[in-house]
Structure 1
Amino acid sequence: MSEHPSLLIAGCGDIGCRLGERLVAAGWRVHGLRRNVAALPAAVLPIEGDLAALDVPPQWPDAAPDYVVYAAAASQHDEAGYRAAYVDGVRHLLGWLRQRNQRPRRLLFVSSTGVYAQHDGEWVDERSPTQPTGYTGRIMLEAERLALASGHPTSVVRMAGLYGPGSRWLIEQARQGYRASREPPLYANRIHRDDAASLLAALLQAGAAGQPLDDCYLGVDDTPAPLHEVIDWLRERLRVGDVPDQPLSRRAGSKRCSNARALALGWRPAYPSYREGYAAMLD
């Protein structure tokens, strides 16, 4: 491998762009694949392509990338859209690598903690059972297994709820007076978008340095918290006054995800809890 590794990010959206900029700054050569390459950072080499296509995109690099990150997001939020974005997209990416006879050193597949169905506030880690009840978790788990069975060394990174600039949904819910159930507490897990990118970068850089990687990591901050605590904190910071309380509807599930394995790798989140992350957004 060259002194400065190469990376291809398939589905180079918000997290992919943040990751690409980090690694370009560290001397890596980074390609980003997406339909609209005009949205890529200037330092990321563009590959105009669609993960729904069977044929290799024309701009695909001749030299095999050292690392590949699959970071696509569903553009259509129904069962068909999820299957197209994750299962079909991964299958097409693997097909492109076979067509070009390219074998990256490692594939990272960006997944979701939605593959877990625990709902009583249990602690969850990479060894916990995955028994999703909804189609989103089932499809994501199917895509994980496809990547892990690809023949390429693979790590799955299960990200919790992403937030940060451009993701103000919970802030607006708090501003409008919504509250969450206190009993039983609904534990929520999150990771700031910058920390999601820094975790992927840490995994890639550790692999490039010869450090063995596990096949699964959880991408979460240090502090899973009851949703009512987060909303109460936001309401206080926003000085929400005489706004009628409204119940916050939320999908089923209550679990506390551990990032101990990622921390053992040496990674540390810049926003270890919702307080630091949302404070940066509000300030």
Structure 2
Amino acid sequence: MKNTLLSLGHGFSARELGRQLAAQGWRVIGTTRKPEKFTEFRAEGVEPLLWPCDLEAALEGVTHLLTSIAPDAEGDPVLRRHRAVIESAAPRLQWVGYLSTTGVYGDHDGGWVDEDSPTEPATLRGRRRVLAEGEWLEIPGLPVHVFRLAGIYGPGRGPFAKLRKGVAQRVIKKNQVFSRAHIEDIAQVLAASIARPDPGRIYNVCDDDPAPPQEVIEYAARLLGMEPPPAVPFEEAEMSPMARSFYSDSKRVRNDRIKDELGVTLKHPTYKAALRAMLAAERG
């Protein structure tokens, strides 16, 4: 049987994995609510599928399943509508990946967390993720792996994009620190897990260099030859409720498990190395 990945909610991180697997000869199917994405998906070697869909039919012949669809107030929307279908497909699936967030750990005032740290989310979004992780992990016989992603960035998404659009802010909040994950490293962690499945395992996906957000903006601005935006106290910063909620958590995330158990060597171990590499790639 040909390896076939069905990616539910085929977005920024999943597309990087899809491109890599398609290049290796996999069949990759990606769902989206936007028909205008179909041409982009096909250019990446991915078969587009409009969501919602007949999931039972979509799972025919699928060996690997990845879901990036966020939970809502009622839990995981995929399982709410399709739990019986997924349970019946469990014996045929070799690997299932659920993309979660390091927000499940809550606020640690800049301290370190690992996969064994308690999940005490400070935000509604984090609490929903904890519940959704549990829903997926409790399905009997389903080879689920949970990936808790730190702040995601990559080409077209991150400090360069914000600076060029003129929307970057150098927000200052005492003891605020974030961990980050480049999409290429997210993809290689997922691929490494596919190669070494360990159902029920949870992995933090992040780089080695947690840092205050204002330092990342400053460094990116210097690389672009731009003046960094002025410092703005957190209390005075103009932010969406979603963006502001990220500042309710401050922590450093350990990533030893992806290295020790999956054999991953990060392509972008620090945000500085990643930003330099991204700029070099842009310039050819």
TM category (shorter chain) comes to 0.7 to 0.9
Pairing partner for 1:186 from 176, 185, 193: 176
Distance 1:109 1:58, change over 3 A: closer
- The separation in 1 between residues aligned to 2:168 and 2:89, in whole angstroms, is 54
* Deviation sequence 1:14-71 (CA, Å, 0-9, x none): 2222211211222323222223361423422333331xx7xx34851433x2221112
Find the aligned partners of 1:230 and 1:214 in 2 and give their Cα distance.
34
Cα deviation for residue 220 of structure 1 reads: 0.5
In the alignment, structure 1 segments of 5+ residues that lack a partner are: 75-80
User: Pick from 185, 202, 213: which aligns with 1:216?
Assistant: 202
Other structure's SS at 1:41 match: helix
Deviation at 1:102, TM superposition (A): 5.7
CA contact (8 A) 1:203 1:213 kept: no
What corresponds to 1:253 in structure 2?
A: 249
One-letter amino acid of the structure 1 residue matched with residue 215 of structure 2: E
Letter in 2 for 1:49: W
Residue 75 of structure 2 corresponds to residue 91 of structure 1: no
Structure with a larger share of its residues in helix: 2
The answer to whether the Cα contact below 8 Å between 2:29 and 2:47 also exists between their aligned partners in 1 is yes
Q: After alignment, is 106-115 or 92-101 more displaced?
A: 92-101
Contact 1:119 1:252 in 2 (8 A): no
Question: How far 1:280 moved relative to its partner?
Answer: 3.1
> Which segment is superposed worse, 20-29 or 263-272?
20-29
State the Cα distance separating 1:91 from its structure 2 match: 3.2
After TM superposition, the structure 1 stretch with the greater mean CA deviation from structure 2, 97-106 or 247-256, is 97-106
The 1:104/1:233 distance shift into structure 2, 3 A limit, reads: same
Paired position in structure 2 for 1:148: 137
SS at match of 1:225: coil
Q: How far apart, CA to CA, are the structure 2 residues paired with 1:10 and 1:176?
A: 30
Shift of 1:150: 1.1
Distance 2:27 2:200 in 1: 24
**Matched residues in 1 for 2:214 and 2:28: separation?**
41
**3-state SS, counterpart of residue 187 of structure 1:** coil
Deviates more, 1:239-248 or 1:35-44: 239-248
Contact 1:155 1:213 in 2 (8 A): yes
Residue 30 (str. 1) matches residue 20 (str. 2): no
Among 72, 81, 84, the alignment partner of 1:82 is: 72
The offset of 1:217, in angstroms, is: 0.2
Displacement of 1:177 in angstroms is 7.5
Asked if the contact 2:208–2:270 (Cα under 8 Å) also holds between the matched residues in 1, the reply is yes
Taking structure 1 as reference, are residues 274 and 100 closer, same or farther at Cα in structure 2, changes over 3 Å only?
A: closer
1:203 aligns with 2:204: no
**Structure 1 residues 60 and 102 mapped into 2: Cα distance closer, same or farther (>3 Å)?**
farther
Distance across 2 between alignment mates of 1:104 and 1:24 = 18
Moved more, 35-44 or 5-14: 35-44
Q: What does residue 241 of structure 2 align with?
A: none
Q: Give 5+ residue unaligned stretches, structure 2.
A: 238-243
Contact residue 47 and residue 59 of structure 1 kept, 8 A: no
Q: CA deviation at 1:214?
A: 5.3
Percent sequence identity is 32
For 1:66 and 1:121, the matched residues in 2 are separated by 40
**Aligned counterpart, 1:44:** 46
Q: 1:83 to 1:198 in 2, by over 3 A?
A: farther
Change (3 A) 1:259 1:214: farther
More moved, 169-178 vs 32-41: 169-178
User: What is the aligned partner in structure 1 of residue 240 from structure 2?
Assistant: none
Letter in 2 for 1:196: I
Measured in 2, the distance between the counterparts of 1:163 and 1:228 equals 15
How many residues are treated as equivalent by the alignment? Answer: 263
| Secondary structure of the structure 2 residue equivalent to 1:278 | helix
Would the alpha carbon gap of residues 68 and 58 (structure 1) be closer, same or farther in structure 2, given more than 3 Å must change?
A: closer
**RMSD over aligned Cα, in angstroms?**
2.8
What CA distance in whole angstroms lies between the structure 1 residues aligned with 2:257 and 2:251? 17
Query: How far apart are residue 244 of structure 1 and its match?
Result: 4.3
Q: C-alpha deviations, 1:180-232, integer Å up to 9, x for none?
A: 437x431111111222122111111222xxxx455100011121122233233
Q: 1:19 to 1:176 in 2, by over 3 A?
A: closer
More displaced stretch, 95-104 vs 10-19: 95-104
The answer (yes or no) to whether the contact 2:172–2:232 under 8 Å persists in 1 is no
Deviation at 1:141, TM superposition (A): 0.7
3-state secondary structure, aligned to 1:191: strand
Q: Distance in 1 between matches of 2:72 and 2:95?
A: 24
125-134 vs 14-23, which deviates more? 14-23
Partners of 1:33 and 1:171 lie apart in 2 by 26
